[in-house]
Amino acid sequence: MKPQFPAVQGGGSLILAWQVRNRHVLVIGGGEVAAGRILAVLNADAKVTLISPSTNLNPEVRHRIASGAVTYIDREFQPSDLDPSLPTPPTNDTSSPSPAQPVDMVLCAIDSPTASTEIYKLCHRLRIPANIADVPPECDFYFGSVHRDGPLQIMVSTNGNGPKMAALVRRRIAGSLPGNTGAAIRKVGELRRRLRGVAPGNGGEVGAKRMRWMSKVCESWSLEDLCDMVEEDMDLLLAYYKDGMVPSLEQIRLKEEPGVYTFDGSFGWM
């Protein structure tokens, strides 16, 4: 029989979790869209420089500047902000220098289509990934509609076709999740970190065994149990890792010895 494989569906985008911690992100524009972009990259621990005349700043952007969350340059964007080899227009204002370090990403949210296109072309030539707000053909990546609950992030993307629809779908998904999902994931993350201490090493059979055991924990424990788990519970649970067993929270709190079980078939250990 011929094997069945997933069909290719072209026209999508590769959705990734882009790590921009300590990367330098340049935001051009100071309106409502820019405010959303700034918050998104600050949440990802990026270093943000904002270029925009002070007359164009919305209240949220002003707050980010006042709190010191972003480095602010009060003027219009200049090509030399990205390429120091290009000439800088003459000015008597020495209080607004160019960004102090190379730029890793550009987020443009200005009203001028012509200027936006020129910025995108410059980024493309310099191989700097860029997003030009509301112009999908001039975006190396898109911002989706994101649900955030602690370590949990869910992004819905329409690939530039309908941002409002993405928000509607995201709200529907978020509404279907239990309120303690993020807390349960945080506990699972701590358990995984402790497991690496018990079974160190990367890849191979060690990594595969860790993954199988963590899968058993996530599948057999409820969200309520994961949220209720404390450090002592984690240490007791990890004692069962060697034998590949996953007892219930109730059982580990009874402090049953690993390898000695009163098994009634209800916990799906095997």
104 and 134 share a domain?
Answer: yes
Q: Could you tell me if 44 and 20 are in contact, meaning their C-beta atoms sit under 8 angstroms apart?
A: yes
> Which residues have a catalytic role annotated?
134
pLDDT, averaged across the chain: 89
219 and 200 share a domain?
Answer: yes
139 and 30 share a domain?
Answer: yes
155 and 50 share a domain?
Answer: no
d(CA 232, CA 118) in angstroms, rounded, equals 58
Task: Flag whether 10 is in a domain.
Answer: no
Predicted TM-score (pTM) of this structure: 0.79
Looking at the 3D structure of the chain, how many domains does it have?
3
69 and 157 share a domain?
Answer: no
pLDDT in tens, 80-129: 999 888 877 666 555 667 787 899 999 999 999 999 999 999 999 999 99
Per-residue confidence (pLDDT) for residue 267, from 0 to 100: 46
Structural domain range at position 230: 181-253
pLDDT in tens, 138-185: 999 988 899 999 999 999 998 878 888 999 999 999 999 988 899 999
- Burial state string for 60-99 with b = 16 or more CB within 10 A and e = fewer than 16: bbeebbeeeebbbbbbbbbbebbeeeeeeeeeeeeeeebb
Final residue of a structural domain among 129, 157, 177: 177
Write the DSSP assignment of 164-215 as a string of letters.
Answer: HHHHHHHHHHHHTS-TTHHHHHHHHHHHHHHHHHHS---SHHHHHHHHHHHH
Task: Flag whether 39 is in a domain.
Answer: yes
216 and 171 share a domain?
Answer: no
Contacts of 180 (CB under 8 A, 6+ apart): 223, 224, 227
48 and 116 share a domain?
Answer: yes
d(CA 237, CA 232) in angstroms, rounded, equals 9
